[in-house]
C-alpha cells in the first residue's frame, strides 16, 4: 500500500532575502521528499512565504510602499532562489493566496463557534520581532532576548484563543508519543512549557486594524485582523486542500513538519491544540533543527560575511554547498559555518572518497575491461563483505532518514565508501593486472565489478542528497536511467544488479578538488 508523506518547511518571512538557515531547512525537506518519492510514498513537499504581520508592515512603511509590494518582492526572491537551487517542492504557498485567506477565515469561525475564543483587554510588553506579548523570562536587561530590542508597552482589547485548558491532554499526547517532537531535547522543552503554570497564557489571536491593517480580517469582527502566527500555521492545511479537497485526508495522515528551534512553541503547543479544536488529527512528527552560526572572524572581508546560497552555488556548486549543510549539521544541534570547513569537507568526502573511487574504477574498467562492466568471477571473502554491507547501509539510510537524521544517513553512506576504498586498495587490481594470468584477470574483473556495483548502491542512496550527481554516476557505470525505476531502500540493498557488458564512461571529475581559500586577514 502506498503511504503518504507530507512534509513542510516553515514559511519564510518576507522581510529579507533567503539565508543559510532557511536554505538548510529547505534542503533537509527536499532530501526527505526525494527519498520518500524513491521509496514509492505519495509525497507532497510544501514550502512558501509568511507575508502578513507587523514585520512586513514595518518594512513597507519605512520604504513608503504598500505591504503587498514588499511581500511580492521577497516572495519572488524566495521562489526564484528555490528554483535556482533545484528544490523539488510541490507547492509554494503564499499566505496572501486567496485559498489561504478563505481557509483561515473558515477556521477562525469554527474555533469561535466552538466557544474557544473570548474577548478581553490586555496590557503588556510587546515585541514586534516575536510578534507577541513577552513574559518576563523572554526578556533580559529590558530587551527581548531573541531580538535584542526593547519591547513596547501596549494596552489593547483583543480576541484570545483558550489554549491553557488544552495543556493536559497535549502533555499526555507528547508523553505517549516519544517521537512526536524530536530530537528529544525539544520534546522536553515542549513538555516544560506545558507544565510551567506561570509561563504560557491564552493566546492573543487578533490585532486591531487601527494599529495593523496588514492581515486577514476576523470573520466575526471586521475591526480586527488575525495574529500572524495563527494565520501562518494554517498554511499547512490550506496547501493540501483542507477541508474538503480530494487529497486532504490521505496526505494529512502522513504530515510532518521541519522547523528551527526558535519556533518550537507555536508548532509544539499552539498548532496541535488548534488541530484538535477543529477536529483534525495531530501531525505525526515535529522535526526540530538547530542554528547555523557564522563566525565572523573566520570569514574574510573580501568574501563577505553573509552566506547567500546563490553566491555559494556560484562559488562551489550547489551540490557541494548542500552536501556540506546536510553533512556538517547534526540534525537538532547547532553548527558553525566556515568556508574552510566546507572546502575541507567537500575535498575529503566528495572529491576524494566518492570522486576518486569513481574515477579510479572507471579508468581501470576502461583499461582492463574494455570500458564495459566486467563479468565477475566467484566472490571471495572480501567481495562477500562488501556485498553484505550494501543491505546494511541501505537499512541505515532508511532508518535515519525516517527520523530526519540526515547527517547520520550521509555518515553511513560514507562509511560504506570508506570500506569500498579499502577493499580496492587491498585487492589492488592495478597490481593483479600485471600478472596477466587467467586467474589474475578473473580477480581484476571481480574487483572492478564489485567496485562498480558498490557505486551503483551508493548512487541510489545518495540521490536524495545529491540529486544532480547521482544520475551522472549511474550513467557512467553503465546504469543510465536507473533512478527512474528505482525503489528505495530495496534496490540499494540488492547485490549483483549491474549487467556485465554494459558500457561505462570515463568523464570529468565529479567534484574537482577545491583549492584552499586564500585569506586576506
**Residue 59 preceded by cis peptide, ω within 30:** no
If one asks whether residue 263 binds ligand MSP (CB under 6 A), the answer comes out as yes
Judged by CB under 6 A, the residue of 199, 260, 377, 391 near ligand MSP is 260
Give the one residue of 4, 5, 6, 24 binding ligand MSP; rule: CB under 6 A. 24
- According to DSSP, the β-strands at 117-127 and 152-161 are antiparallel
Ordered DSSP codes for 110-152: HHHHTT-EEEEEEEEEEETTTTEEPPGGGEETTEETTT-SPPE
Three cell numbers, residue 329: 549539521
3-state secondary structure of 288: strand
Asked, as a colleague might, if the bond just before 489 is cis with ω within 30 of 0, I would say yes
**CA distances, 333 to each of 225, 260, 330, 336, 409 (Å):** 36, 10, 6, 10, 16
Using the rule CB under 6 A, give the single segment among 151-159, 256-264, 373-381, 463-471 that binds ligand MSP: 256-264
Interface region with ligand MSP, contact rule CB under 6 A, candidates 8-16, 247-255, 301-309, 374-382: 8-16
226 binds ligand MSP (CB under 6 A): no
Q: Would you count residue 413 as binding ligand MSP (CB under 6 A)? A: no
The residue whose grid cell reads 530590542 is: 149
Smallest distance from ligand MSP to CB 298, Å: 16
Total residues contacting ligand MSP by CB under 6 A comes to: 18
Instruction: Please measure the distance between the N-terminal and C-terminal CA atoms of the chain and give it in whole angstroms.
Output: 58
Binding mask 41-80 for ligand MSP (x = CB under 6 A): ---------x------------------------------
Q: Nearest Cα to 26, choosing from 318, 343, 341, 334?
A: 318
Match 515535529 to its residue by C-alpha cell.
Answer: 286
Q: What are phi and psi of 403, to 5 degrees?
A: -105, 10
* Beta carbon of residue 52, minimum distance to ligand MSP (angstroms, whole number): 10
Angle at 16 between CA 145 and CA 153, to 5 degrees: 40
Q: Considering the complex, state which of residue 32 and residue 354 has its C-beta at the smaller distance from ligand MSP.
A: 32
Closest to ligand MSP by CB, 92 vs 511, is 92
H-run or E-run covering 466: none
Give the x-and-dash track for 284-323 against ligand MSP (CB under 6 A): -------xx-------------------------------
The reply on whether position 262 binds ligand MSP by CB under 6 A is yes
User: CA-to-CA distance for 51 and 355, rounded, in angstroms?
Assistant: 43
Nearest distance in Å: CB 171, ligand MSP: 22
Q: What contacts 398, CB < 8 A, 6 or more positions away?
A: 39, 488, 489
Alpha carbon distance 459, 486 (integer Å): 11
Q: What is the closest distance, in whole angstroms, from the C-beta atom of residue 23 to ligand MSP in the complex?
A: 9
- The reply to whether 259 sits near ligand MSP by the rule CB under 6 A is yes
29, 144, 203, 232: which one binds ligand MSP (CB under 6 A)? 232
21 binds ligand MSP (CB under 6 A): yes
| Residues linked to residue 7 through DSSP beta bridges, in sequence order | 45, 256
- 185 is an interface residue for ligand MSP by CB under 6 A: no
Cβ of residue 74: shortest distance to ligand MSP, in angstroms?
10
Beta carbon nearer to ligand MSP, 51 or 398: 51
- Please identify, among the stretches 19-27, 64-72, 420-428, 448-456, the one whose residues bind ligand MSP according to the rule CB under 6 A: 19-27
Chain residue at closest Cβ approach to ligand MSP: 260
Q: Could you say whether residue 144 binds ligand MSP (CB under 6 A)?
A: no
* 82 lies in the site for ligand MSP, by CB under 6 A: no
Distance CA 271, CA 213 (A): 24
Residues that bind ligand MSP (CB under 6 A): 10-13, 21-22, 24-25, 50, 232-233, 235, 259-260, 262-263, 291-292
Amino acid at each position: 500500500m502506498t503511504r503518504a508523506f507530507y512534509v513542510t518547511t516553515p514559511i519564510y518571512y518576507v522581510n529579507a532575502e533567503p539565508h543559510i538557515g532557511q536554505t538548510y531547512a529547505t534542503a533537509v525537506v527536499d532530501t526527505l521528499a526525494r527519498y520518500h518519492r524513491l521509496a514509492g510514498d505519495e509525497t507532497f513537499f510544501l514550502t512558501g512565504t509568511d507575508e502578513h504581520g507587523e514585520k512586513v508592515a514595518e518594512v513597507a512603511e519605512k520604504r513608503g510602499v504598500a505591504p503587498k509590494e514588499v511581500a511580492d518582492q521577497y516572495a519572488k526572491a524566495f521562489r526564484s532562489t528555490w528554483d535556482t537551487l533545484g528544490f523539488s517542492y510541490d507547492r509554494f504557498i503564499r499566505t496572501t493566496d486567496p485559498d489561504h485567506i478563505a481557509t483561515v477565515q473558515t477556521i477562525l469561525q469554527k474555533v469561535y463557534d466552538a466557544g474557544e475564543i473570548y474577548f478581553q483587554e490586555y496590557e503588556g510588553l510587546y515585541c514586534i520581532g516575536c510578534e507577541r506579548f513577552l513574559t518576563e523570562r523572554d526578556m533580559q536587561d529590558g530587551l527581548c532576548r531573541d531580538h535584542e530590542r526593547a519591547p513596547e508597552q501596549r494596552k489593547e482589547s483583543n480576541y484570545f484563543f483558550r489554549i491553557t485548558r488544552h495543556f493536559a491532554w497535549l502533555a499526555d499526547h507528547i508523553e505517549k508519543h516519544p517521537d512526536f517532537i524530536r530530537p528529544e531535547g525539544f520534546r522536553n522543552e515542549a513538555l516544560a512549557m506545558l507544565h510551567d503554570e506561570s509561563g504560557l497564557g491564552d493566546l492573543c489571536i487578533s490585532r486591531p486594524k487601527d494599529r495593523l491593517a496588514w492581515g486577514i480580517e476576523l470573520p466575526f469582527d471586521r475591526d480586527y485582523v488575525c495574529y500572524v502566527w495563527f494565520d501562518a500555521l494554517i498554511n499547512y492545511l490550506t496547501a493540501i486542500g483542507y477541508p474538503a479537497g480530494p487529497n486532504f485526508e490521505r496526505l494529512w495522515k502522513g504530515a510532518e513538519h521541519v522547523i528551527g528551534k526558535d519556533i518550537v512553541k507555536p508548532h509544539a503547543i499552539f498548532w496541535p491544540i488548534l488541530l484538535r479544536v477543529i477536529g483534525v488529527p495531530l501531525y505525526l512528527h515535529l522535526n526540530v533543527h538547530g542554528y547555523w552560526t557564522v563566525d565572523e572572524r573566520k570569514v574574510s572581508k573580501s568574501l563577505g560575511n553573509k552566506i547567500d546560497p546563490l553566491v555559494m552555488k556560484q562559488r562551489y556548486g550547489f551540490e557541494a554547498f548542500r552536501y556540506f549543510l546536510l553533512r556538517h549539521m547534526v540534525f537538532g544541534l547547532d553548527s558553525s559555518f566556515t568556508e574552510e570547513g566546507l572546502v575541507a569537507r567537500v575535498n575529503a568526502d566528495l572529491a576524494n572518497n566518492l570522486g576518486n573511487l569513481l574515477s579510479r574504477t572507471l579508468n581501470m574498467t576502461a583499461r582492463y575491461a574494455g570500458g564495459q562492466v566486467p563479468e565477475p568471477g566467484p566472490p571471495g571473502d572480501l567481495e562477500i563483505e562488501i556485498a553484505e554491507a550494501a543491505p546494511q547501509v541501505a537499512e541505515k539510510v532508511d532508518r535515519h532518514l525516517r527520523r530526519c537524521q540526515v547527517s547520520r544517513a550521509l555518515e553511513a553512506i560514507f562509511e560504506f565508501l570508506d570500506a569500498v576504498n579499502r577493499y580496492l586498495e587491498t585487492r589492488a587490481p592495478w597490481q593483479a593486472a600485471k600478472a596477466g594470468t587467467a586467474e589474475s584477470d578473473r580477480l581484476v574483473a571481480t574487483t572492478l565489478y564489485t567496485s562498480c556495483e558498490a557505486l551503483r548502491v551508493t548512487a541510489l542512496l545518495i540521490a536524495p542528497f545529491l540529486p544532480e550527481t547521482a544520475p551522472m554516476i549511474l550513467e557512467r557505470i553503465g546504469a543510465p536511467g536507473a533512478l527512474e525505476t528505482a525503489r528505495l531502500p530495496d534496490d540499494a540493498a540488492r547485490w549483483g544488479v549491474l549487467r556485465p557488458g554494459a558500457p561505462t564512461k570515463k568523464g570529468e571529475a565529479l567534484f574537482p578538488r577545491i583549492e584552499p581559500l586564500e585569506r586576506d586577514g
